Structure 1
């Protein structure tokens, strides 16, 4: 299909991946973009989010980098959760970013800051709220995709981008045999005022993990030094009961008692810190995962981005960056295929060739790491041995071995793809 008429694109979901896709595609004059978000207004659920070099790289090409501010992470401490004793004193810095002097050093920021920075770059009129997708249908070869929303409205589009998260209805429609499962790994998250913890003596108010037998406690600042208003607390439990009929898993209000029951083994300073959290502030995020998808597009007219394409259960702590990278590469692929008679089909093939193997590599790494952690628990290992093995796993994540993730330069990835394609034609 040559661009005699504008290509119509429907993006499902207004998270970082959907917004990035909208920004990138709206810059193409022959593309008409609409983003459908089920929420009645802009919102981002959660607490803090890590912005590393890979995220800065994609935010920069989207023009949104200057709108994201937070606390520089610097040295990320790994601690024995029972004693608070640092376990990585010999590590110069376990943060996978660049130097503190770098404008784009690793930060931890409020998720709402990232959302606002991206929203600011989406042209007016593109986003439609209160649009919950009910169904999508593949029409004939040249007639696109038919979409139906809960409010009864319908539309068609030449290309649909499923950016609707880990429980994506787009993915479920395309791949009905792909099933998710609740893992039992659950995060309880909250943002509280920094001033509310000033009375806790000898608490190191820097980014750090405190490891327990069946979970960990995470603390970080989320505001830059000029503000320093809020900080983030996450209590992670690795062995939560899993019920087969559970469907609600994200941002569920949870009681203080429920969270505190999972912190009995921790250092007294942690318990004192948790005591300041007001009742009703905690939110539960039950991790959901699924197997690696071989294909992240279908029907020659639908693409999946972000958690919709790779339900990794929050692995690597860089999901927003992955989703934004997806959207930008998809836009470049369309631009690259503009002279083809089958623009969308060709663009989706390029998208698959670049992003598919990237996620396969992540799944392979997680499989191997999971086996290593399982081996560390065999033979009734004691607490210190288990914690040591877990912290060693963090060292792998943060010590440079995963620079292909944390320092990924998506603009360079695209340049290398184009160069390889040109070389193959010679």
Structure 2
């Protein structure tokens, strides 16, 4: 029962989801929280990260929003990658009704640093790669790490990303598959691209048939007028090579990246050529089917990409994971205050978050079918792109980007109390 003694919690993974969960859970006095990170020091893979209203809501709750700055996405262009033709311009007001901070693109390391600053001292242990979990009959979970460390805890939080070891152990029949989608990412000084027309003046997507290129500032101009600029080249139909090590942040040559945009507009190719050799990092896309349950053994819970392996489909995975951690804290808090059991807390978490992820999978399934239909009906590539942009990028996803996680929790409590009153 929660409340009779300190409940021990092991968080596996030190990305934004794990850090956010550590912050939220560490505020509860009846928990003893330890975060285990496999890297020997804080490290964040990738380049930029998009933050919208949903991100600001959860960062405010975690006390970390003031530390996150980035480039505004208020002026976003959609282009034909072959001709450079502008197909859509989205000029969003800097101060929206939902949140005055608007949508930004920030360095991933900036988000990580803001969260790290909020994690209590002594909570994180580095160089701890999880090897196995064992469901103990007498209670708890036994964790074994590569360095030989063993620990038994009451609750395990799998925050270890899309290639989650916790998920693999908990649900061994669940399999990921390579999507064929690979991203090549880099950050370069904005000044190195200043001589190129139409590259640095706006956030922009340059759409091709077998891939696209994304350009965006990741620094706030008021802080750093000559900050860093992100370039991401995404290829849709990469071959899977059996036995090849999964590409996740591994170096990629300039030639390899340039070959993916060889037919694109010269401005895109010139931007790729600016990048110094050895700077590109490659990230292979993996995804998996929806999990019917995101908790198990009545003492293990999956959050973020570990719970919904969607290969970054909505570009908001870090926010989802932080939301998960905060809801988990609220569920544990409610169970402790009402003297309910740990399984009851996990069931609350399941009831709130699992349907949310199911809605995302449904959205992707419907969008995929619609895009195929649009492709068949379109007269030319520009017409197809315009329809794709309107339907897929600017379709109704307010349930994601304007999600207010505190309201979600309050609504759950209101509904639960109403049900009890009816009974």
Q: Give me the TM-score of the superposition, normalised by structure 2.
A: 0.95
In structure 2, the residue matched to 1:407 is 402
Find the aligned partners of 1:380 and 1:220 in 2 and give their Cα distance.
29
Give the conservation status (yes or no) of the 8 Å contact 2:180–2:238.
yes
Find the aligned partners of 1:165 and 1:363 in 2 and give their Cα distance.
17
In structure 2, the residue matched to 1:118 is 115
In structure 2, the residue matched to 1:330 is 328
Q: 2:370 aligns with which of 366, 369, 372?
A: 372
Cα deviation for residue 84 of structure 1 reads: 1.5
Q: Does 1:51 align with 2:51?
A: yes
Find the aligned partners of 2:280 and 2:133 in 1 and give their Cα distance.
35
In structure 2, the residue matched to 1:41 is 41
Show structure 2 runs of 5+ residues with no match: none
In structure 2, the residue matched to 1:10 is 10
Cα deviation for residue 373 of structure 1 reads: 1.9
Q: Deviations over 1:93-126 (max 9, x none)?
A: 4x9x853995421110000000000000000000
Give the conservation status (yes or no) of the 8 Å contact 1:98–1:106.
no
Pick which of 263-272 and 97-106 moved more: 97-106
* Correspondence list, 1:153-232, <5 A: 153-225=149-221, 226-227=223-224, 228-232=226-230
Give the conservation status (yes or no) of the 8 Å contact 2:194–2:200.
no
* Correspondence list, 1:13-412, <5 A: 13-89=13-89, 91-93=90-92, 99=96, 103-140=100-137, 143-225=139-221, 226-227=223-224, 228-340=226-338, 342-378=340-376, 382-397=380-395, 401-412=396-407
Cα deviation for residue 266 of structure 1 reads: 1.2
Find the aligned partners of 1:370 and 1:247 in 2 and give their Cα distance.
29
Cα deviation for residue 13 of structure 1 reads: 0.3
Find the aligned partners of 2:369 and 2:394 in 1 and give their Cα distance.
14
Give the conservation status (yes or no) of the 8 Å contact 2:367–2:392.
no
Give the conservation status (yes or no) of the 8 Å contact 1:53–1:98.
no
Find the aligned partners of 1:342 and 1:304 in 2 and give their Cα distance.
21
User: Aligned with 2:87: secondary structure?
Assistant: coil
Cα deviation for residue 158 of structure 1 reads: 0.3
Show structure 1 runs of 5+ residues with no match: none
User: Aligned with 1:338: secondary structure?
Assistant: helix
Tell me the number of residue pairs that the alignment of Structure 1 and Structure 2 aligns. Answer: 419
Give the conservation status (yes or no) of the 8 Å contact 1:72–1:106.
yes
Cα deviation for residue 369 of structure 1 reads: 0.7
Pick which of 78-87 and 21-30 moved more: 78-87
Distance 1:108 1:202, change over 3 A: closer
Q: Deviations over 1:30-73 (max 9, x none)?
A: 10000000000001010000011000000000000001011111
Give the conservation status (yes or no) of the 8 Å contact 1:50–1:109.
yes
Find the aligned partners of 1:185 and 1:15 in 2 and give their Cα distance.
22
Q: Give me the TM-score of the superposition, normalised by structure 1.
A: 0.95
Distance 1:275 1:152, change over 3 A: same
Cα deviation for residue 233 of structure 1 reads: 0.2
